[in-house]
Amino acid sequence: MLLWILLTALVLALVLLVARHDQGTIAGLENQEFASLTIKITLLVFVGSSMIVMFRGRLGAAVRAALMWAAIAVVLLVGYTYRGEMLTVTDRVLGELVPGSAVNLGGPRPAVEITRGRGGSFQVTTEINGARVPMVLDTGASAVVLTQEAAKAAGLPLEVLSYTVPVETANGRTRAAAVTLDRLAIGGIVERAVPALVAQPGQLQTNLLGMSFLNRLEGWEVRGDKLILRGYP
């Protein structure tokens, strides 16, 4: 009987929608509002009736089930409403547990925060041309410097690189190859066409985040164990 009532109500609603399509309103509601209301009422009646059938003679169980679904709906609604704040909290927890992970600070311009690593340096997880590349902040390096492995992961053409740029390292003077990185991102900060160097095989153990990237930023600073990078809007 209930199924027939629901079907009849749906048919009548469809007839009203078709008959009054040109008028644009039904019972003071816009056509779209009326259609949405009809669907919601039908679903509500269907769900309520289904619960009555399932828990017939078990009022306590029906009430508990209704409360459980109501609680789930509230949690989902709150989670959706505050999804931005929840993502920020998740990022901050990840940043503390995994040094190098960039925590997006939000605001009108891109800004990230990075926690100092256990060794005392700032290890920074970057994305170069789509590849995940770990780096170490080095304000003494005039440019971003990549190892052979990182350059290969970033899709750079190692076979045609020319190692003609003189550089000073802890092991003495050597030469590196000048390249341009299509895209270098740290969290929400994205820079394009970033000048960089590729070290010769065996000359560098760690990728360096140098001044050719830092000078692109609006600003950066170190506050205690936190490195804060700020990009332009």
At 14 the pLDDT is 61
Strand-pairing partners, residue 180, are: 195
Contact 221/152 with Cβ under 8 angstroms?
no
Q: Which CATH architecture has domain 95-230?
A: Beta Barrel (2.40)
Q: Which amino acid is at 122?
A: F
CB neighbours of 112 closer than 8 A, spacing ≥ 6?
Answer: 102, 103, 104, 105, 186, 187, 188, 189, 228, 229
Q: Where are the domains of the chain?
A: 2-81, 95-230
Assigned token pair, 229: 């990078």
Joined together, the tokens standing for residue 47 give: 């769900």
Written as tens digits, the pLDDT of the chain (233 aa) is: 555 565 566 666 666 655 555 555 555 556 566 566 666 666 666 666 666 656 565 656 656 666 666 666 666 655 555 445 544 555 555 545 555 678 888 778 899 999 898 888 999 999 999 999 999 999 999 999 999 999 999 999 999 999 999 988 767 789 999 999 999 999 899 999 999 999 999 889 999 999 999 999 999 999 989 999 999 98
Q: Are 123 and 99 in contact (CB under 8 A)?
A: yes
> Given the DSSP bridges, would you call strands 29-30 and 123-128 parallel, antiparallel or unpaired?
unpaired
The predicted pLDDT at position 87 comes to 46
Q: What is the pLDDT of residue 41?
A: 66
Supply 200's token pair.
């010769």
Residue-level pLDDT at 48:
63
> Looking at the chain, which runs of residues are DSSP E strands?
25-26, 29-30, 103-104, 111-115, 123-128, 131-137, 144-146, 163-169, 172-186, 189-199, 208-209, 219-223, 226-230
Of the candidates 230, 226, 231, which has an alpha carbon nearest to the alpha carbon of residue 95? 226
